[in-house]
Structure 1
Amino acid sequence: MKGKLSVLAAMTMMSIYTGEAFAAPVLHAIGVENQYADVIAQIGGKYVAVTAIETDPNTDPHTFEASPKIAAEIAHADLVVKNGLGYDAWTDKFLAAAPNASRKVIDVQQLLQLPDNTPNPHLWYKPDVMPVVARQIAADLSAALPAEKDYFEANAKKFDQSLAPWRAALAKLKSQYPDSEVAVTEPVGDYLLQAAGLKIATPFNLEAAIMNGTDPAPQDVTAQNALFADGQLKVFIYNQQVTDPLTASFLNQAKDHQIPIVGVYETMPTPGYHYQSWMLAETNALIKALQAKTSTESLMAKQ
């Protein structure tokens, strides 16, 4: 089903702490999507208490509806990080309703200077995006707490260095399996697939229709169905957070044709992951699928 659950049932806000003991956090930050909250926590460390709003890996973030409690959280935040590109547009209303000249807002779309018609909003799957976000987080936290600038900048540098295993896994994919043909349900992981040098055979209009909850063109569905039988498809990438009869039919065809399946997520699976280990796990799942035809439909069994 499309996953239109109530806010309180489907997406409970959670606080993220870095494990460093502190009596009272100096700053309160919000990552609208929990992957951004995780990065804020890694950069802010002991000086920041972080709240993630969209956290549930079993529902569709595109259907999110905010509550008065979330509005209050945003109103009192010192820093807010949001994705942009319409993915979390509801945030703008709450920010406008509670103006705060000292509050910093990082809109990742604006940070990257991306046009509104950018077709794929799942920016965190693009390998060069989060280091840029981390540096901006460090800059904004430094502006709020100038005495801790070295601390925040060191954490941003450490974060960038910690992405090395993911970058190495992407390089391995690109060198060993160039242009391997894959099919997807949505463009959730497309940036990662493209960085790995894989060939996405699914018509993008089909991906966009499923993402936006509209009816795909029959010819695009026919083209997607043909991919499962032509013998060229190496992996099927399946969005775990949006399921309906059409995507279920694609999943069943992949299984019927013994095509390995890799599940992807729009919000970071928790517990057990940080942003870096999540991206590495998705990439390693693709390597396993191509090397050994092994499916990884879910990352939730990590712990």
Structure 2
Amino acid sequence: MRATRTITALAFSAASALALAGCATTSASSSSSGADATPAGDALQVVASTNVYGQIVEQLGGDAVEVTSIVTSAAQDPHSYEPSAQDTLAISNAELIVENGGGYDSFIDALIESSGSEAHVITAVEFSHDYPGGEEHSDEEHSEDATAGEDAAVAAEEEHAHAEGEAHAEGEAHAEGEAHTEGEEHSHGHDHIEGFNEHVWYDPHTIAYVAETIADELTELRPDDADVFAANLDAFTAEIDALEDSLSELASANDGVRVFVTEPVPVYLAAEAGLDNVTPDAFSEAVEEGQDVPPATLLESLDLLRADDVRVVITNTQTGGAETEQVVGEAETLGIPVIAFSETLPEGETYISWMQANIAALSDALAE
């Protein structure tokens, strides 16, 4: 029997690490990780639904942005978050809003409607190749887009504006920014979509396109800082490429290895690592919805672990229940490594360092 071991994601330090705000709806100015831009007093007001997207905006925007991340704590569940008056004020003052979408952070819809905000909105799920109506992005497109920042900066200096649709050439369904500019009703598809995993921030490839769009929007709003945004985007994209390289190496060594994922949050990352998620849909869906796992599904799940071909169990630190505890207990009894991933960015981490830590934890578990 393999030795029992529970692994948690290690904190990796990245050169671009930023200090994050310690509570919800607290503005967090960018640190010196990116190129410098406009002084903070004239900073663009950006609201992100969670600190995951907030940190990415900070890294891309540098001193040109002041970011308010609404959900910043592991104790806050974006699915059921109740907005405050302070959140409404932040949204009403925002020039750019970045959300996840797909039913994950639908409180943003309520805030936009109640505040009457006409800010541009970036919805991350719309850049996923799995999103209904979206388009799959090729590696060649990603490589070409990674070097397009300087061209965008030059164009911004010449025109000081661009069409909202052009900012989203990689996703035809993304057009809400233009609607807000015209003061039309905010009408995203934010209800949970059956069969679609909305936790797209665990897919670095999708985040690369989200980052490019954030840089485009910042350039439109502050064309004088276009060079800064382009430089910061280039640096961020290079780090994303490194994450994808690490995942490709894992896939080469572990293609088809079976894993059990108690909740859908890390599924994209596991798939990019070449792993085969064998979790019954009824199990992970029940855990995600905070419901009891059907007894037959729990028995099926335990039998999968006992079959001795599941190499790793992955949990979500922010959701669980009695059935998840049973699965974890059984895995530890059988000597199957257990690792835990979170939904929100741990304090003191950047998106890149956080994903590095998750990939490292997964690699260590597979190596046992």
Select between 262-271 and 216-225 the one with higher mean Cα deviation: 216-225
User: Following TM superposition, by how much is the alpha carbon of 1:112 offset from its aligned partner in structure 2, in angstroms?
Assistant: 4.6
Partners of 1:72 and 1:43 in 2: CA distance: 24
User: What is the aligned partner in structure 1 of residue 162 from structure 2?
Assistant: none
User: Following TM superposition, by how much is the alpha carbon of 1:23 offset from its aligned partner in structure 2, in angstroms?
Assistant: 4.7
* 2:213 pairs with 1:136: yes
Contact 2:246 2:359 (C-alpha < 8 Å) held by counterparts:
yes
Partners of 1:258 and 1:82 in 2: CA distance: 39
Contact 1:131 1:156 (C-alpha < 8 Å) held by counterparts:
no
Equivalent residue pairs, number: 281
User: What is the aligned partner in structure 2 of residue 91 from structure 1?
Assistant: 108
Q: Give the ranges of 4+ consecutive aligned residues of structure 1 lying more than 6 Å apart after TM superposition.
A: none
The letter for the 2-side match of 1:185 is T
Contact 2:25 2:86 (C-alpha < 8 Å) held by counterparts:
no
User: What is the aligned partner in structure 1 of residue 121 from structure 2?
Assistant: 105
Q: Equivalent residue of 1:266, what SS? A: coil
Superposed CA RMSD in Å reads 1.9
Partners of 1:23 and 1:195 in 2: CA distance: 38
User: What is the aligned partner in structure 2 of residue 283 from structure 1?
Assistant: 359
Q: Where do 1:145-224 residues align within 5 Å?
A: 145-224=222-301
The letter for the 1-side match of 2:341 is V
User: Following TM superposition, by how much is the alpha carbon of 1:277 offset from its aligned partner in structure 2, in angstroms?
Assistant: 1.0
Percent of aligned positions that are identical: 31
Partners of 1:112 and 1:181 in 2: CA distance: 24
The letter for the 2-side match of 1:17 is S
Partners of 1:111 and 1:174 in 2: CA distance: 23
Contact 1:85 1:118 (C-alpha < 8 Å) held by counterparts:
no
Partners of 1:47 and 1:148 in 2: CA distance: 7
Partners of 1:141 and 1:26 in 2: CA distance: 11
TM-score when normalising by structure 1: 0.87
User: Following TM superposition, by how much is the alpha carbon of 1:158 offset from its aligned partner in structure 2, in angstroms?
Assistant: 1.4
Q: Where do 1:226-245 residues align within 5 Å?
A: 226-245=303-322
The letter for the 1-side match of 2:237 is D
Deviation readout 1:65-101 (Å, 9 max, x if unpaired): 1111111111111111000011111110111222244
Select between 76-85 and 144-153 the one with higher mean Cα deviation: 144-153
Contact 1:127 1:195 (C-alpha < 8 Å) held by counterparts:
no
Q: Equivalent residue of 1:143, what SS? A: helix
* 2:48 pairs with 1:31: yes
Partners of 1:200 and 1:160 in 2: CA distance: 28
Partners of 1:110 and 1:175 in 2: CA distance: 29
The letter for the 2-side match of 1:63 is S
Q: Equivalent residue of 1:41, what SS? A: helix
Partners of 2:111 and 2:87 in 1: CA distance: 9
* 2:41 pairs with 1:13: no
The letter for the 1-side match of 2:31 is G
Instruction: Select the structure of larger CA radius of gyration.
Output: 2
Q: Equivalent residue of 2:233, what SS? A: helix
* 2:89 pairs with 1:72: yes
* 2:345 pairs with 1:268: yes
Q: Equivalent residue of 1:262, what SS? A: strand
Unaligned runs of 5+ in 1: 1-9, 294-303
Deviation readout 1:156-192 (Å, 9 max, x if unpaired): 1211111233122201210111111111110110000
* Gap change, CA 1:118 and 1:79, over 3 Å in 2: farther
TM-score when normalising by structure 2: 0.72
Partners of 2:306 and 2:292 in 1: CA distance: 23
Q: Equivalent residue of 1:43, what SS? A: helix
Partners of 1:279 and 1:207 in 2: CA distance: 22
Partners of 1:266 and 1:221 in 2: CA distance: 24
Unaligned runs of 5+ in 2: 1-21, 133-192
Contact 1:18 1:42 (C-alpha < 8 Å) held by counterparts:
yes
